[in-house]
Amino acid sequence: MNQAVAVNLRRSRIDGFGVFAAEAIAAEACIGGLTGEAITVAEARRRAEGRQRLMLVEISPSRAIDATRSDDAMRFTNHSCAPNARIQVEQGDIRFFALREIALGEEITVDYGLTHHQGRLQCRCGADNCQGQL
């Protein structure tokens, strides 16, 4: 899936690597997409056991995408309790959209919502409204 805007990968203060805007991004712009291996939700939950870094997205009550081996930069999108982007799943396609203007060099983040971590992983987003866990 092609990137809709230019992004860079680099070390993140949140966790591991992150996705950063290589250009200013307008509010509501499509940032890019995510592809990966189609698996069942049960298999996604099995793969998530005991792992801290996950690249799984549930696209329906029974299907998920494992982006661990994907070439899409967006697989490195980190969580924030005050995100600047959102994930949209439509007909099996996973796309990221800007919630507001994103400045050149700013890390692109989304709210993971409910996760396979089930509240056992400490959140390190640093937002004023940080919930403290994922």
Per-domain residue ranges of the chain: 7-110
Q: pTM score > 0.85 for this model?
A: yes
Outline where DSSP puts E strands in the chain.
7-11, 17-21, 30-34, 37-40, 56-58, 63-66, 78-79, 85-90, 93-98, 107-110
Percent of the chain having pLDDT more than 70?
A: 93
Q: Does domain 7-110 have CATH number 2.170.270.10?
A: yes
Distance CA 104, CA 31 (A): 13
Condensed to tens digits (0 to 9), the pLDDT of residues 69-113 reads 999 999 999 999 999 999 999 888 999 999 999 999 999 999 988
- Residue 55: what pLDDT? 86
At 70 the three-state DSSP class reads coil
Is the separation of the CB atoms in 59 and 89 below 8 Å? yes
